Amino acid sequence: MRGTLSRPIDQLTLDWRAVSRGSESKRALHLLADIEPDVASTRAEDLEELVSLLRGAIGDPRGDWAPRVLQAMLRTQSVHPLIPRAILQALLPGLVTVARRLSWGSGGDWIDGGTFFSDLITTTWEVITEWCGEDRPYALLDLLSAVRCRMRRQIVSRRSAREIAVGPELDRRLGIRRSSEISDLEILAQAIEDLHGNELDPTDAAVLYGNRVLGLSMTELAKMTGRSRRFLADRRRRAEEQFCA
């Protein structure tokens, strides 16, 4: 399975190498840096170097600049068509994690991990381009959450309930009717997405979604957001308390 998954990843990497060091890559980076000071501060010469810096910042205590740069790239991607491609490349490790959490698409219509990941890439591209111009402080987590949710909608009716249990009190508070086609995890995802109705702080909801729905650990979330595990745990606890208040 891992071999079939590696094929689309390898193809993405080859495609990226073909364009990320050329003159258009340098032009795209300079156009972006002229508008976004956080991008300019990286001193990258082209998009290949910028993506490499972003990946290297994940897990580095000094990498708290990375979420701001990805936020800027999403916000200003319209200045050059290579910028959304760079965002996709920067998201690649996170997409592998999403694929793993979804068990490579088991229960869906995919014949193997490679075909599932190809659809995952297509979905990610759609989300990136749809969000052009949006200003999202938690761009990385927001993007992965949206991609995962869209992919899961395709397979949730054929998947058994996951290990996360939503208690009867939460069901009562949210007024959600259970059915054999909706798992506990899907109920939680729907509830978190309904931020206005539940009056959840968007940051609290993002942390709860990432941990309880995406299945990311606090360590993984800390690497993605540049925030401490203690901060994220406090946000998750506050969101959980809001649910059952």
Q: What is the pLDDT of residues 155-178, one digit of tens each?
A: 654 443 333 444 454 445 445 444
* Domains of the chain with CATH codes: 1-159 (no CATH), 160-245 (1.10.10)
Q: What is the pLDDT of residues 73-100, one digit of tens each?
A: 999 999 999 999 999 999 998 888 888 7
Token representation of residue 184: 């506990």
| Angle in degrees, CA 9, 100, 12, rounded to 5 | 10
Average pLDDT over residues 45-64: 84
pLDDT recorded at residue 43: 95
Token representation of residue 63: 């990498």
Report which residue type is found at 8. Answer: P
- pLDDT of 40 strictly over 60: yes
Quickly count: other Cβ atoms within 10 Å of residue 59's Cβ: 12
pTM, two decimal places? 0.66
- pLDDT of 133 strictly over 90: yes
Terminal-to-terminal C-alpha distance of the chain: 44
Query: Long-range contacts for 22-30 (Cβ within 8 Å, ≥24 apart)?
Result: 22/46, 24/80, 24/82, 25/82, 27/80, 28/79, 28/80, 28/81, 28/82, 28/83, 28/86
Alpha carbons 115 and 133: distance in angstroms, whole number: 30
Mean pLDDT of the chain: 77
Token representation of residue 224: 């993605």
pLDDT recorded at residue 16: 95
Average pLDDT over residues 123-131: 94
